[in-house]
Amino acid sequence: MSEQIAYLNGEYLRLEDARVPVLDRGFIFGDGVYEVIPVYAGKPLRLAAHLQRLARSLAAIKLPNPHTDEEWAQLLAELVKRHPWADQSIYLHITRGVAPRNHAFPAVTKPTVFMMSGPLKLPSAEERSAGVRTLSLEDFRWQRCDIKSIALLGNCLLRQAAVEAGCKEAVLFRDGWLTEGAASNIFVIENGTLLAPPIDHLILPGITYEITLELAHQHGMPVKVAPISEAQTRQADELWLTSSTNEVLAITELDGHPVGSGRPGPAWRQMSEWFEAFKRDLRSGAEGVASAGVTRAGAPVEAALAGTPAAG
Ligand code: PDD
């Protein structure tokens, strides 16, 4: 693989040479937030939505945004330019910086800003044609899964349990209700309707989730955003997982049982075609979804949290 370049606090350097002091609060407390932004033919997918979600995560942890959206766009473009791959995956990470170890925030903060890019690794042809296996698990993470926090131990433990069971992803339930995957959002197809769990404080407002719903609306696939029970999930005709690095992938097995026919279903094949067309438009510079440019990531969370004791 070609050499990976990192951006760290204003400098570009070889990824293997990038260093952060051990007292960085990201290292000590996991005190930071991140984004993963796919890049197709040099063009970041829904950059405005990713930056809006980043701003939301930063505000939620009371960390001032170190850059304007224009500055972020320039930094990202520069990082992309320094790598040879047409399709890349950018990892962007901001921590509260270096300070003596103390749970409360330091009086003065100099955030650590780190970015790296690698070739975009999408699911294999085999995973796309056969779908993937999943394991259901109780979602034992915290109550602010809407924040894209770098503190991902819960997600790592859940993903690892799935991997140890020979699965690609965990499907998480909290008190009998579907939340999401360890690093993905989950959709259900029931009698031809696309069901999605509502965006609230218990799931990440995925950019791919948003695009999937937009594509369904645009093409007239019936959509219902409402809480989904574990029983509904287990009886689904189809299950999908979505994320920036998986796009839309069919889940064909849950806990060793086939989902629907046990093969990627007709609704998934349709969505997959719409997603491919959407990517073609992005590559050619004309994003195809009607509401492209309208960035809503996180806005529904604000609405969901407004007025609840968990708010703020
Ligand atoms: N994860 N839910 C969780 C918990 C996630 O970690 C992710 C993505 C998603 C999907 O969000 P999006 O569609 O914006 O990628 C949902 C990234 C890819 C990661 O941690 O690597």
What's the pLDDT tens digit per position in 111-140? 999 999 999 999 999 999 999 999 999 999
Mean pLDDT of 1-7: 90
- Evaluate: CB of 146 within 6 angstroms of ligand 1: no
Please say if the pLDDT value at position 309 is more than 50.
no
Percent of the chain with pLDDT strictly greater than 90: 90
- Ligand 1 centroid from CA 56, angstroms: 15
- All structural domains of the chain, each given as residue ranges with its CATH number in brackets, are 5-121 (3.30.470.10), 125-281 (3.20.10.10)
Cβ–Cβ under 8 Å, residues 33 and 298: no
Cα atoms in the 13 Å half-sphere on the side-chain side of 272: 17
Residue 236 and residue 195: Cα distance in Å, rounded?
A: 10
Q: Please list the residues that pair with 149 across neighbouring strands.
A: 33
- On average, the pLDDT of the chain sits at 93
Q: Report the pLDDT value the prediction gives residue 289, as an integer from 0 to 100.
A: 56
Q: pLDDT at residue 29 above 90?
A: yes
Q: Flag whether pLDDT at 70 surpasses 60.
A: yes
Q: How far is the CA of 222 from the centre of ligand 1 (A)?
A: 24
Short-list 31, 3, 28, 8, CA closest to 18: 8
pLDDT at residue 164 in the model? 98
Report whether residue 212 contacts ligand 1, using a CB cutoff of 6 Å.
no
Helix residue ranges per DSSP H, 116-265? 125-130, 153-164, 207-219, 230-234
- Catalytic residue, from 43, 81, 121, 148: name it: 148
The answer to pTM > 0.75 is yes
User: Quick one: tokens of 7?
Assistant: 């951006």
Centre of ligand 1 from the C-alpha of residue 295, in Å: 17
Instruction: Give tens-digit pLDDT for 75-105.
Output: 999 999 999 999 999 999 999 999 999 999 9
How distant, in Å, are the alpha carbons of 210, 239, 272 from that of 234?
Answer: 23, 9, 22
CA angle 209, 249, 227 (to 5 degrees): 45
Residue 168 among the catalytic residues:
no
